[in-house]
Amino acid sequence: MVLQSDEHRAKLINKILFAASQQAVKALIDAEKDIPSGIIEKIIDDLEGFNPMKKEAQQWSNIKIAKILFNRLRHASTQNT
């Protein structure tokens, strides 16, 4: 199960990095609303680990919006518990 969640997380982050726009990133994350809070935490940690100097402008923009959206999901999940 852990391997599957790690694999899913890696694929999702890759899709976020290579999304064509912030709207595409939002659509990807909106499709993940049922993602467990523990995985959201890991994704946020992964996104925070990226170096902006090693990413293209669109990728960095995607990372920043993804962090905002995942933080909103994290906050919403803590409100619901």
Q: Distance between CA 64 and CA 5 in Å, rounded?
A: 22
Longest dimension (CA), the chain: 38
End-to-end CA, the chain: 23
If pLDDT is split at 50, 70 and 90, which confidence band does 4 have? Answer: confident
Mean pLDDT of 3-19: 91
Segment 18-67, tens digit of pLDDT: 999 999 999 999 998 788 888 899 999 999 999 999 999 999 999 999 99
pLDDT at site 36: 86
Residue 17 Cα to chain centre, angstroms: 9
